[in-house]
Structure 1
């Protein structure tokens, strides 16, 4: 057998390494393709025109996008998008190569969506739009689930993102009707009235009267009033840039005469602001008594008590007026649910969750994953047993 010369041995070693690197790269490429990662051709809409680009890393949304039935995965995704929006390497084309998108939010993985969760996500894109004047492009919109696309369009995502131009067709959401979100900085009763009237118009006359009897106007107005007055204190240090706004929407299941209303702000949370309120001492005393009864060894500032803190503030608000820092009006929000044939009030704020529901005792709990800001949601049954 012919003896290999030294330079030939070196060449064979280098050749073997190159082949191995190609094999490893191919395996990594296939794995990335399966996981939605890796460069591929994608369709976007820019300035109303369809374009083909190279897209690299998808950020897939959970199949069930809901803060009720899939809280953790949905909130993790919203948090991920928020962090990406304010990084230097995110969703927007920053590469010098034309037609290249390094990262993008992939909504094509969503099979079911809650308009309430969609409102919280919309607020993130709306904040970015107000701060920068920029819109992100949707990627492969034609692959989105029809119901999901219809909900996002109805909610107003076409004003937040570069999407396919609207056609004359009406989106078929079955018995569900979703209203476009409203947003503002100040507490303006006109916006609340528009939302309430729009919801009533989607209902039969008798159900509309029952909606007005529940007086959602008062609860919604208190929510945006507290957001405007106390959610964005002057001098507060924010993790992400703040626009000092609130967002709200409503949607109706016309087959069940069932109305859902959601109000959201990105401000300081209820548990954070309670110690600075007018009734802070009273709240602290009541909370201390509860903790003593429960034999809790931590301090009242422990974030594990966020849910209990909201529940305690609700109890104080029931017998007091003039509560500051989100405390004011808390119980008037609950009264909306109490006046409905069936009502449910849910509050998410930092690690706390509070629920009041017809026929049950109020409940509160600690959520390990913190909620950014405060979300208030009413569910009102106006005619049928649920």
Structure 2
């Protein structure tokens, strides 16, 4: 077991196994179901459970060499064979919430037995280091990773932080051969940067209203990016664990801007699915602030995708999925269970 910078023997029982295919975009329902199950298994809320948890934490946390430590139940990653950047980000966000909200010290168990490519992807994401699971193994550079997508370390904050989004985006496009001067001059890349910052602002302004989120949250967004060297593709993914687009529109219809209010109320009378509401948010200038100057962010993302040589936009919120690929008709789908928030992913060719 590897935890808090220490590697030592341990005895535990897997509470669940991650599926072999952890690609959020290709094995959606199975993977989202797995995430939903671990979300509740890592929840520690009652005073009694917290007391037991803290007592175990204080009681001889590092036993002498050769004497296994009992860790109880854990989530096993031994069987994962595939994972995509979005799947890795949502997984990291769930572990990050458990650590921040419930004080959980989460172990990485049987790491040497993990699929090498999966381990390198999670190392590149910063899964071990940024979640304080330990100081090693280190984050891997884009060049040291293998597989189709090379993942950048994830970022997370409670604020709108343009200074956090700029450097990693510049690193990713530089890895694809884009010069620094071209990065600042390229209209499409500037628009991508603004889209990321707008996404942060939406999370900060709308995702976590008081008393509106059922599951305990930490009020943060999570961001990562990845590059595909062979096909010169770039992807950026932003995730939050907030109220979701469908819940926000359904509960705040009377607060939306006047230009969208009538059409939204008409849609709500028909009993829309989550996917219908996500589609409405993407294709209409709508905001629950009532400010006509707000609510244009998702529509700008469509314009950005169309401005690129190739591109794809995917929005997943609660159970709804909206996908647009340049040159094709948009599609939508309904998931078997909630993704636990909202995820926006851009994938473009450079």
TM-score normalised by structure 2 residue count? 0.83
> Shift of residue 156 of structure 1?
1.0
Query: Is contact 1:347–1:375 with CA below 8 Å preserved after alignment?
Result: yes
User: Are the structure 2 counterparts of residues 316 and 57 from structure 1 closer, same or farther at C-alpha, using a change threshold of 3 Å?
Assistant: closer
Matches of residues 233-272 of structure 1 in structure 2 within 5 Å?
A: 233=209, 235-272=210-247
> Which digits, 9 at most, give the CA deviation of each residue in 1:298-341, with x for residues without a partner?
944x3x522112222222229xx9768x9441211222212111
Match of 1:196 in 2: 169
Q: Distance in 1 between matches of 2:76 and 2:291?
A: 42
Partner of 1:360: helix, strand, or coil?
coil
1:49 partnered with 2:26 = no
Matches within 5 A, 1:274-353: 274-275=249-250, 276=252, 278-279=255-256, 282-283=259-260, 285-287=262-264, 299-300=269-270, 302=271, 304-317=272-285, 327-353=295-321
Please give the residue correspondences for 1:108-127 in structure 2 after superposition, counting only pairs within 5 Å: 108-127=78-97
- Structure 1 equivalent of residue 35 of structure 2: 78
CA contact (8 A) 1:137 1:161 kept: no
Larger Rg: 1
CA distance in 2, matches of 1:137, 1:60: 14
Q: What secondary structure, in the 3-state scheme, does the structure 2 residue paired with 1:331 have?
A: helix
**TM-score for the superposition, normalised by structure 1:** 0.75
* C-alpha RMSD of the superposition: 3.3
For residues 128-165 of structure 1, the C-alpha deviation after alignment (integer angstroms, 9 at most, x for no partner) is 22224443111111100000000111101112153582
Which of 175, 185, 204 matches 1:228?
A: 204
**Structure 1 residue 54: Cα displacement:** 1.5
- CA shift, 1:284, in A, is 5.2
Tell me, what secondary structure is at the counterpart of 1:380?
strand
For residue 159 of structure 2, what is the aligned residue in structure 1? 186
Assess if the C-alpha contact under 8 Å between 2:22 and 2:83 holds in 1: yes
Cα distance, 1:101–1:168 mapped onto 2, change above 3 Å: closer
What's the secondary structure of 1:252's corresponding residue?
Answer: strand
In structure 1, the residue matched to 2:66 is: none
Match of 2:122 among 135, 152, 177: 152
In the comparison of the two structures, how many residue pairs are matched? 328
For the pair 1:68 / 2:39, whether they are aligned, the reply is no
Q: Aligned pair 1:364/2:332, yes or no?
A: yes
Q: Which runs of 5+ in 2 are unaligned?
A: 64-68
Q: Secondary structure at the match of 1:186?
A: coil
Q: Distance in 2 between matches of 1:377 and 1:168?
A: 22
Please list every run of 5 or more consecutive structure 1 residues that lacks an aligned counterpart in the other structure.
Answer: 1-43, 292-297
More strand by share: 1
> SS of the residue aligned with 2:319?
strand
Alpha-carbon spacing, 1:283–1:80, altered in 2? closer, same or farther (3 Å): same
